[in-house]
Each structure stands twice: as C-alpha cells, then as structure tokens.
Amino acid sequence: MTDADFRVVYDSDGALPVRLEAARVEGPAGVYTHHRLVIAEGRTGAVMVAVRDDAVLLVQSNRIAVGEELWELPRGAGDVSDSAATATALRELAEETGFQGAGARVIGRYVTDSTVYPQKVAVVFCRIDAGAVPGETDGEVDDARWIRTDEITRMIGNGLIADAHSLAALALWMAEGELS
C-alpha cells in the first residue's frame, strides 16, 4: 500500500494540522477500510532522556486529553534526520526545563502506533552538567524534577510514568545500559 492509496476523510485547518485518511485494503478476511491519522504532516517526534549524575529529568504536564497530570520526558515534533532529531530534542529540553544538554545523540527509534497513528519518534540522550542552572522556559510544563534512576523504575512500576513516549524512550535508554 502506498500513500496514493489513501484518501483524505478529514483535514483540519487549525494551527496543528490533523488529517484522517482511509484506504480500502484486501486482507485474509476480505476487504475493509483502514484508517490512519497524520498529525503535523507526519513529522518525526523526538523524546529527550537528559541525565545528570544518577538522575533523569522529568517534566509534569497537565494532559487534558486524559484528564491527568503526568510525569514525562521532554518531547516535541521535528524532522527525520538524526541531526534534526537531536536539535528538536535539545530545543524541547530548553523550552520545557530551561536546561541546555551536552553530547546529544540518538539512541533509538520507535513508532507510536503501527496502525492508526504511525508517527516515528527518535529517542535522544544527553547529559547536563551537575552545576548547570536552568534558564527561562516557555511555561508549557507545570514542573521539572530530577528523579534518581532507581526511582524511575519504581515510578514506572507504580504507574506514575504512564505515557507511551516516556515508557518507550526509557526502555530504549535502559536497554542501552547507560543508567548514569
């Protein structure tokens, strides 16, 4: 199936472009309509795992769509290449926390949903100097805190870190074995 096989079902005209597309697909059970959601023209997202000493920087955001305050990693939308992903992640880190990261590099990639919402996301790792002082933020998040790496695991187990972006990024970071 190619992009040409999809037709636009809905297209927003707001600041954040949202488009619902549909395509007829023939599968083992017959013909059905497959839908996909394209947000921000399909731009790649970036999630930042920022580490200082033995702690990870988390932000708390009011997520109106789920009706909860969630602890998450800083993240945002950008472009596909590794250099664009690191630039996006560093920008989001600075905007949301006021910190500047060093040695940023892509440590992995994932797809948010391989069916309906197929956004590609890069996971970027960086370090922040122990003496770094945060600058101004854009006010997008409610709080930012350094959480010890052993506490991160407990927060995941207790459901305090529950968003898919943070869980996937933390899993890739932990799999890399660079826990401090």
Are 25 and 69 in the same domain?
A: no
97 shares a domain with 143: yes
Same domain, 34 and 20: yes
CB 37 within 8 A of CB 6: no
- Let me know whether 84 and 104 are in one domain: yes
Does residue 57 share a domain with residue 96? Answer: yes
pLDDT digits (tens, 9 = 90+) for 14-38: 777 888 999 999 888 899 998 888 8
Q: Map residue 2 onto helix, strand or coil.
A: coil
pLDDT band at 115 (very low <50, low <70, confident <90, very high): confident
78 and 142 in a single domain? The answer is yes
Q: What's the domain range around 34? A: 3-41
The predicted-structure confidence for 35-47, as pLDDT tens digits, reads as follows 888 877 777 789 9
Question: Could you read off the pLDDT of 57-113 as tens digits, one per residue?
Answer: 999 999 888 899 999 999 988 765 667 889 999 999 999 999 999 999 999 999 988
Shared-domain flag, residues 109 and 62: yes
Domains held by the chain: number: 2
Q: Is residue 37 domain-shared with residue 107, that is, in the same domain?
A: no
State residue 179's pLDDT score.
Answer: 54
**48 lies in the same domain as 136:** yes
The confidence score (pLDDT) of residue 49 equals: 98
Q: Kindly state whether residues 117 and 149 are assigned to the same domain.
A: yes
The confidence score (pLDDT) of residue 152 equals 95
Which tens digits make up the pLDDT trace of 122-176?
A: 999 999 999 999 999 999 899 999 999 999 999 999 999 999 999 999 999 999 8
Direct distance between the N- and C-terminal alpha carbons of the chain, in angstroms, rounded to an integer: 43
Q: How far is it, in rounded angstroms, from Cα 115 to Cα 36?
A: 7
